[in-house]
């Protein structure tokens, strides 16, 4: 297991919200965060956004601990363009289709934790 020093006993309580309209809360355990970053690693120096995450998100904690510039808690991601190199997040599942479309439109590397049903549209 990777070194967790400085992460202060991460828990799986990362809360993801979409503009406060709904509270689609699904928790991403830290072991899944490590696995996602191993399979889809950002490049050193990348500016990373976690638009639907808070500062208590395991994605945010791990990425910051690794020295990445992480922007999180973005409430207007669907409407506003942001400068970034890499997106990784656990978005609200109720908005998944719109979020997938937005990521495709932006054309940047994006890693989304989604239910398997998302593969069917």
Which pLDDT belongs to residue 70?
96
Whole-number pLDDT of residue 71: 95
Residue carrying the six token digits 């490049």 = 43
Strands, sheet with 47-50, edge to edge from the N-terminal-most edge strand = 69-72, 47-50, 86-89, 110-112
All structural domains of the chain with their residue ranges: 18-95
Joined together, the tokens standing for residue 96 give 């998944």
Beta-bridge partners for 89: 112
107 φψ region: left (φ > 0), alpha (ψ -120 to 50), beta (else) = left
Angstrom CA distances, 54 to 13, 107, 108, 116, stand at: 10, 24, 21, 24
Q: Which of 6, 7, 19 is nearest to 99 (CA)?
A: 19
What pLDDT tens digit does each residue of the chain (121 aa) get?
444 544 444 333 333 333 444 455 566 889 999 999 999 999 999 999 999 999 989 999 999 999 999 999 998 999 999 999 999 998 888 888 899 999 999 999 999 988 787 777 5
3-state secondary structure 67-115: CCEEEECCCCCCCCCCCCCEEEECCCHHHHHHHHHHHHHHCCCEEECCC
Instruction: Specify the pTM.
Output: 0.74
């Amino acid at each position: 297991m990777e070194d967790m020093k400085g992460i202060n006993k991460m828990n799986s309580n990362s809360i993801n919200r979409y503009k406060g309209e709904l509270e689609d809360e699904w928790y991403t355990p830290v072991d899944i965060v490590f696995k996602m970053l191993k399979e889809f690693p950002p490049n050193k120096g990348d500016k990373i956004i976690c638009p639907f995450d808070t500062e208590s998100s395991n994605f945010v904690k791990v990425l910051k601990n690794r020295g990445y510039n992480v922007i999180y808690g973005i409430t207007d991601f669907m409407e506003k363009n942001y400068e970034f190199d890499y997106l990784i997040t656990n978005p609200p599942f109720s908005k998944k289709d719109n979020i997938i479309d937005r990521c495709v439109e932006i054309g940047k590397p994006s890693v989304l934790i989604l239910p398997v049903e998302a593969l069917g549209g």
